[in-house]
Amino acid sequence: MYSRFFHNSPPPNTYLTMLNKIVLDWTKIHTVFLDMDGTLLDLHYDNHFWLEYMPIKYAEKYQLTLSEAKEQLISRSNAMRGTLNWYCIDHWSEKLAMDILMLKQEISERIKIRDHVDTFLSFLQQQKKHIILLTNAPPKTMRIKFQHVAIEQYFDQIISSHQIGLAKEQQGFWSKLHQQIDFKVKNSLLIDDNLSVLRVAQQYNIAHLLAIHQPDSQKIAVDTEEFTAIESFRQLF
């Protein structure tokens, strides 16, 4: 029966079977740090919000053309990139005098989990790993995400960098984190779509680091440079 199937069209899982398995020595990994946006969740929602939806709302409020609005938002965003404030809803609500949380809710149906993430999280639970969500998103944004994707129950700990006081890509983040939670760098895995975050973790000697091939499902894949990238979470288990 399979030969008939192959003759007409490739079976639906051909793409997955063609992907290389990413070999990790799970016996040596005790703690798994997982980023949220762009890693477990499709970055499309966040990109769409900031690059498409916000410019429309900002243009309406300040009576600008759409291109003026985009230009202003991009330059304000670039000035803050990589800092905690860049990720902070309260900061932007105040600076732009707009209710960012409410606006985020308006398009929250776009929040999507990446394929096979829940199976991967179940696998980690079965393997008795210490599973930590480690995100630059503030708790308020996390709550919107968790209303749409049921992943909260998988984590042993949920840590927002806002609780640490530094963004994950800032120097000193990992030593501050280490003062608050117990883990061994040589037994830790971090999966994150942000290469700056991975590099800072690498400097702290986090032993296992993986990037994400296509953080936003509606944009082209990214070059993850020195890091191995996950195309599908099926590659991990």
Binding piece for Mg ion, criterion CB under 5 A, among 19-27, 107-115, 188-196, 218-226: 188-196
Rule CB under 5 A: say whether 35 interacts with Mg ion: yes
Which two tokens mark 214? 């296509």
In the bound state with Mg ion, the residue whose beta carbon lies nearer, of 103 and 167, is 167
Closest to 49 measured CA to CA, from 137, 117, 121, 130: 137
Rule CB under 5 A: say whether 37 interacts with Mg ion: yes
In the bound state with Mg ion, the residue whose beta carbon lies nearer, of 35 and 42, is 35
For 181, list phi and psi in degrees, rounded to 5: -135, 155
Shortest approach of Mg ion to residue 129 CB, angstroms? 20
Side-by-side strand order, sheet with 208-212: 157-160, 130-135, 31-34, 188-191, 208-212, 229-230
Give 75's Cβ-side CA count (13 Å radius). 5
Binding piece for Mg ion, criterion CB under 5 A, among 32-40, 61-69, 96-104, 150-158: 32-40
Shortest approach of Mg ion to residue 43 CB, angstroms? 7
Rule CB under 5 A: say whether 193 interacts with Mg ion: yes
Shortest approach of Mg ion to residue 235 CB, angstroms? 18
Alpha carbon distance 91, 222 (integer Å): 29
- Could you list the residues that contact Mg ion (CB under 5 A)? 35, 37-38, 193
